[in-house]
Amino acid sequence: MKDSTCIFCKIANGEIPSSTIYEDEDFRVFLDLGPAAKGHALIVPKEHYASIYELEDTLCSRVFLLAKKLALRMREVLHCDGINIMQNNGPVAGQTVFHFHLHLIPRYEGDSAGIRWNPGNVTPEELAELVEILRVE
């Protein structure tokens, strides 16, 4: 399914040009226009899935194989010192385009990407309670 109002549907399906670095039947990978660092790319399925919750399982499993392939390429040709792989779901998590995408962000010593969070605290009781409710088979 495509969403005629969705910019990533249009880019992934070639209706809007992009700086594409990989394409197959199911995915397009293109460079982010607001890069956190040099080489920042997005892995985007051609079908419209708003977020991880909807993403079809086969595509879901393929995303990380693609991420690995591109991460190896980035390390080889950009000589980045590291790579962040990020995926935002929901506005509170920083999602601004509501078509599933995985960020590949090459990192360089001293860059200004600033991807970090403030570590919090958790008690043993809270950990136990969370394990109780989060555990899946």
How does DSSP assign 38-67, residue by residue? TT-EEEEESS---STTT--HHHHHHHHHHH
Q: What does 70 interact with, of ligand 5GP, Zn ion, none (CB < 5 to 8 A by kind)?
A: none
DSSP assigned state of 93: G
Which of 40, 48, 99, 101 is labelled catalytic? 101
Which residue from 88, 108, 111, 113 is in contact with ligand 5GP, where contact means CB under 6 A? 88
In the complex with Zn ion, the residue whose CB is nearer, 47 or 66, is 47
Sign of CA dihedral 108, 112, 31, 101: positive
Q: What does 94 interact with, of ligand 5GP, Zn ion, none (CB < 5 to 8 A by kind)?
A: ligand 5GP
104: tokens are 């590949």
CB of 62 to Zn ion, least distance (A): 17
Q: What does 26 interact with, of ligand 5GP, Zn ion, none (CB < 5 to 8 A by kind)?
A: none
* Residue corresponding to tokens 């039947």: 25
Determine, following the binding rule CB under 6 A, whether residue 97 of this chain makes contact with ligand 5GP: yes
First to last CA, the chain: 30
Determine, following the binding rule CB under 6 A, whether residue 104 of this chain makes contact with ligand 5GP: no
3-state secondary structure of 131: helix
What residues are labeled active site? Answer: 101
**What is the contact surface with ligand 5GP in residues (CB under 6 A)?**
7, 11, 18, 30, 32-34, 88, 94-97
